[in-house]
Structure 1
Amino acid sequence: MKKIILTTFILLVLMSVVVTGAMAQQQGGTLVFGRGGDSVGLDPIQVTDGESFKVTQQIYDTLVDYTPGTTEVEPALATDWEVSDDGLTWTFHLREGVQFHDGTPFNAEAVKFNFDRWRLEDNPYHIGGEFTYYSYMFQGFPGIIQEVNVVDDYTIEFVLSEKQAPFLNNLAMVPFGIASPTAVKKYGEDYFKHPVGTGAYVLDEWRQGDRVILKANENYWRERAYLDEIVFRSIPDNSARFMELQSGTIDMMDGVSPEDVESVNSNDQLQLSLRPSMNVGYFAMNFNFEPFDNVKVRKAFNYAIDKQAIIDAFYAGLAEPAKNPMPPSIWGYNDDIEAYDYNPEKAKELLTEAGYEDGFEFDLWYLPVPRPYIPQGKFIAQAIQSYLSDIGVTANLVTYDWSTYLDKTEHQEAPTYMLGWTGDNGDPDNFLYVLLDKTNSNNAYVSEELHDILVEAQKTMDHEKRVELYNQAQEIIHEDAPWVPLVHSTPPIALKSNVKNYIPNPTGTEKLHRVWLEN
């Protein structure tokens, strides 16, 4: 009898703890997120930058989503789905009773409108941007999505021209948030300033260059967001942003400077969260500019830069040197590849063999805003400049505002540039095809052999075969040396201690509707 009473008592205590924990999730309040730059636009299909995705992920939902903290796919606007035996027809069953922020209904016609807008270049609403991510992930326009058919009000069918192994993972990516057809038609080319989705937050105001203010969606199809309001403030300088966090004028920030990590850990009013590493920071050389069309010059640069020293100086140890264009956290990573070690003498030998024993001068473009993979663009560029000076090469540092920088590098205007990539879906395709296939490369890198391998890997449903193909692809890239892969970082995020239930996602952005503030 005593044993039964004791067991009952323990169960009651445990139930009390669970209930108390649930009640602790408090509604209300404003979260101020300090970030390094403004959004380029708020139509997710038109942009490629993380600063835009931080905001659009709160405004829009996708057909499927990633489980918090992972790249595992779970239902979202679609409740379930099936694929035909030949892998070419995907059928999605949609959630009923969902409304866009403007009160119009979400249904299969809305999904078809969005995909037709993205994939068809002659669609009247294929305007306002280059729809880069659609082209990246689905092989151009219309790409592999040949038909989008409305089966009934809440069933949509996609017919592919060829199998695509990462198709479902691709649909969960932030760029493919479903927009209100009514709003797209109303605003046209200005839609990027007037976003309307089905997400947990609604745009209240965008003061460009300063802040984006979001309000909770009172009619959200999930449980209402805990926070009443989220403010994304643009504070380009890392140190200034950290000072604001310490003073309490912002509640969280990314782009934490290495020298501030210990200060966060030693401050009981703050907490440090580490984003799972799924990125690469790199220095790219444009094949359209001499002498970067010479593989010996590109390899010389790979030998000239001390990656570990850069990590020690600018990453507080929260990074590892990169030897491949995709991180070791992604399946299919080729660890057998031998890294270009730091060897200035070898670099000089290669320059001499290439006919540049007296060196040369060029422009090195560096990031104007902190990014998770390159937190201090100018300082890291200065370090690279110094290493190249040691082998007799003069690098002139150049930068532009963030949106201009992205536009110019995308259009291959930079002779060399620093950039990076945070994986969107946990698949090697999202690094190798998106960044280095001949159809996507920003630095005019063209390899027919690589292209054939990457396209075959997309069509192959056999996992082991895909691993083999991606291993081959990394060998080709290593030999051609279109980049100097610099680092794979583990980005730190600093938060006030009263910010609860923040779960960083390896994709670089996450929904914040389950974050709450403790009073």
Structure 2
Amino acid sequence: MKFYSLLICLALVATTSCQSKKENKSTFVYCSEGSPTAFNPQVFTDGTSNNAAGHTIYNKLVDFKLGTTEIIPSLAESWSISDDQLTYTFNLRKGVKFHTTKYFTPTREFNADDVLWSFNRMFNKLHPYNKVSGGTYEYFNGMGMGELIKEIKKVDDYKVQITLNKPEAPFLANMAMSFMSILSKEYADYLSKKDEKDKIDTYPIGTGPFIFRSYQKDNVIKYKANEDYFLGAPKIKKLVFAITPDASVRYQKLKTGECHLVIEPSPTDLNSMKNDKNLKVISGAGLNVGYLAMNVEKKPFDDERVRKAVNMALNKKSYIDAIYLGNAKTAKNPLPPTIWSYNDEVKEIEYNPEKAKSLLKEAGLENGFETTLWTLPVSRPYNPAGKKMGELMQADLAKIGVRVKLVTFDWPTYLKKSSAGEHDMLQLGWTGDNGDPDNFLHVLLGCQGVGAGSNYARWCDKDFDSLINQAKILTDVAKRSELYKKAQVIFNEKAPWVPVAHSTIFRAMAKNVEGYVIDPLGGDNFETIELK
């Protein structure tokens, strides 16, 4: 019997430790929904990777107060902004230690050299690490940071100055996003000497609350607490990400105690979870949008009539009922209604298959056409069941003569190929990163986003782009809001997407989990969590 028990224990070791009668309260197991694309926030935009690296391993100069979009100090203990809104001076925190791991031991603490190295990797094309991992910095480029920043200067070891070419209202909020995380220059120099530069994005060294230990692809990520964390050591000593793409399997693991917290519970499981006395479910309004992007660089989606026909063919209300089980509302704009400047006066494109057929006939496609639709391979708050939604979309489009082949890939490949514009139609979505409309309209639909790979419709409308770029340089919220509302009218007229849904965020966890705060920006943070 002892030998049999040992075999069971060994079988479970990949995701969690064997437990005696008393639960191990120092190890926290999180059932995540997918594998990260990398462990460096500079080179990814997906929430899965952000949870695995941005919220665990790294810090930025400024951060968002947990559960809010309020900007607070982090690696910079204070900052000032010049009267002309062009120069930002950051006073850096002293005494911050980089992680010590089995693959690197730092010999100095964080300072201004690390800030300059991290930002210049994305900003300066001649930087020795600029081309590492492909040299694509989707967030940095999609948000126009390269054109916005004039100079990044070290004033002294603990003071950095960033000068802009023009005022940028959301700049400080953008600085709190994970892509502006600070890496170790000393570690980068060490890897460079060993001719192992590519490891900078897969074997991370940061200053954050957890230290990376190991990653088994598509299986498990392991971390340990950073006991020297400058904001105080986490209460849990070991953190494990059990990678579990299937929502129903995540639920089973939660029920059997194999994990303590699950991301994106299936809407079909929510009532059962709420009725389980050993579990608890929390929810919050999501700052998100799920959408179907049509690649306007590919025929026939270069024709506005075809894009509107696709909009009219899709019965979004049925998706809310079948996919989200009512825990979402249909979308008509690229912004969620919880964000300022949302234009509620925009008239939603009606569900009207007959009118859709007429538009296709006008476009010379009376007999329809063949195309592909890429379905989301992971559960996300804005789309919890990509394959099922794809099947419903496929059936709806068949009614107007559009013959759709459903396609999917693993998550990292899906993102890489779609960023390169290989798709015809694509399911995707977005959870806001900083509470500013610019983070949706400029990143996802601006002309810069086409080259950066964040504009999946590949749509560049000069009038739309002019409005959102005007809004970026204003500080008056009312004036910015007016411009953003006009931009949403253009979006509705040109229809590069089918905006599908804005969903409610849910998290399910064991009843003894304390300290978890739901994030309106969609992430999961672990530094305040404990097991009671």
TM-score (norm 2): 0.90
Query: Partner residue of 2:9?
Result: none
Deviation at 1:341, TM superposition (A): 2.1
Query: Partner residue of 2:115?
Result: 111
User: Can you list the C-alpha shifts for 1:487-515, whole angstroms capped at 9, x where unaligned?
Assistant: 01112111111111110111111421111
Find the residue that maps to 2:376 and give its secondary structure.
Answer: coil
Is it true that 1:493 corresponds to 2:507 in the alignment?
yes
Alignment of 1:34-433 (within 5 A): 34-56=31-53, 57-102=55-100, 103=106, 104-126=108-130, 127-129=132-134, 130-137=136-143, 139=144, 142-185=146-189, 186=191, 187-433=196-442
Is it true that 1:460 corresponds to 2:458 in the alignment?
no
Find the residue that maps to 1:143 and give its secondary structure.
Answer: helix
AA at the equivalent of 2:494: D
Q: Distance in 1 between matches of 2:413 and 2:240?
A: 24
Deviation at 1:205, TM superposition (A): 0.8
Q: Distance in 1 between matches of 2:81 and 2:399?
A: 57
Work out whether residues 320 and 488 of structure 1, in 8 Å CA contact, stay in contact via their aligned partners in 2.
Answer: yes
Query: Partner residue of 2:13?
Result: none
Work out whether residues 44 and 138 of structure 2, in 8 Å CA contact, stay in contact via their aligned partners in 1.
Answer: yes
Find the residue that maps to 1:260 and give its secondary structure.
Answer: helix
AA at the equivalent of 2:531: L
Work out whether residues 162 and 459 of structure 1, in 8 Å CA contact, stay in contact via their aligned partners in 2.
Answer: yes
Q: Distance in 2 between matches of 1:444 and 1:160?
A: 27
Q: Distance in 1 between matches of 2:187 and 2:218?
A: 24
> Which contiguous aligned blocks of 4+ residues in structure 1 show a shift greater than 4 angstroms?
none
AA at the equivalent of 1:97: G
Work out whether residues 286 and 522 of structure 2, in 8 Å CA contact, stay in contact via their aligned partners in 1.
Answer: no
Query: Partner residue of 2:15?
Result: none
AA at the equivalent of 1:96: K
Say if 1:477 and 1:470 are closer, same or farther in 2 by CA, change over 3 A: same
User: Can you list the C-alpha shifts for 1:295-328, whole angstroms capped at 9, x where unaligned?
Assistant: 1111111111111110111112211100001101
Deviation at 1:442, TM superposition (A): 2.4
User: Can you list the C-alpha shifts for 1:15-58, whole angstroms capped at 9, x where unaligned?
Assistant: xxxxxxxxxxx995111111211111001101111111001111
Q: Distance in 2 between matches of 1:264 and 1:343?
A: 37
Q: Which consecutive residues of structure 1, in runs of 5 or more, have no partner in the other structure?
A: 1-25
RMSD, matched Cα: 1.4
Q: Distance in 1 between matches of 2:305 and 2:472?
A: 31
Q: Distance in 2 between matches of 1:227 and 1:27?
A: 10
Q: Distance in 2 between matches of 1:421 and 1:206?
A: 26
Q: Distance in 2 between matches of 1:250 and 1:341?
A: 43
Query: Partner residue of 2:525?
Result: 511
Find the residue that maps to 1:508 and give its secondary structure.
Answer: coil
AA at the equivalent of 2:444: L
Q: Distance in 1 between matches of 2:141 and 2:96?
A: 28
AA at the equivalent of 2:37: V
Query: Partner residue of 2:457?
Result: 443
AA at the equivalent of 1:244: K
User: Can you list the C-alpha shifts for 1:418-442, whole angstroms capped at 9, x where unaligned?
Assistant: 1111110000000000000112122
Find the residue that maps to 1:361 and give its secondary structure.
Answer: strand
Work out whether residues 68 and 505 of structure 1, in 8 Å CA contact, stay in contact via their aligned partners in 2.
Answer: yes
Work out whether residues 287 and 443 of structure 1, in 8 Å CA contact, stay in contact via their aligned partners in 2.
Answer: yes
Find the residue that maps to 1:125 and give its secondary structure.
Answer: coil
Deviation at 1:145, TM superposition (A): 1.3
Residues 257-266 or 386-395, more deviating: 386-395
Query: Partner residue of 2:493?
Result: 479
Find the residue that maps to 2:509 and give its secondary structure.
Answer: strand
Query: Partner residue of 2:27?
Result: 30
Deviation at 1:455, TM superposition (A): 1.2
Find the residue that maps to 1:253 and give its secondary structure.
Answer: strand
Work out whether residues 128 and 190 of structure 1, in 8 Å CA contact, stay in contact via their aligned partners in 2.
Answer: no
AA at the equivalent of 2:186: T
Work out whether residues 113 and 185 of structure 2, in 8 Å CA contact, stay in contact via their aligned partners in 1.
Answer: no
Q: Distance in 2 between matches of 1:213 and 1:372?
A: 24
Work out whether residues 366 and 398 of structure 1, in 8 Å CA contact, stay in contact via their aligned partners in 2.
Answer: yes
Deviation at 1:75, TM superposition (A): 0.9
AA at the equivalent of 2:181: G
How many residues matched?
A: 491
Find the residue that maps to 1:59 and give its secondary structure.
Answer: coil
Find the residue that maps to 1:443 and give its secondary structure.
Answer: coil
Work out whether residues 311 and 487 of structure 1, in 8 Å CA contact, stay in contact via their aligned partners in 2.
Answer: yes
Q: Which consecutive residues of structure 2, in runs of 5 or more, have no partner in the other structure?
A: 1-22, 101-105, 450-454
AA at the equivalent of 2:384: P
Find the residue that maps to 1:175 and give its secondary structure.
Answer: helix
Deviation at 1:384, TM superposition (A): 0.6
Find the residue that maps to 1:450 and give its secondary structure.
Answer: helix
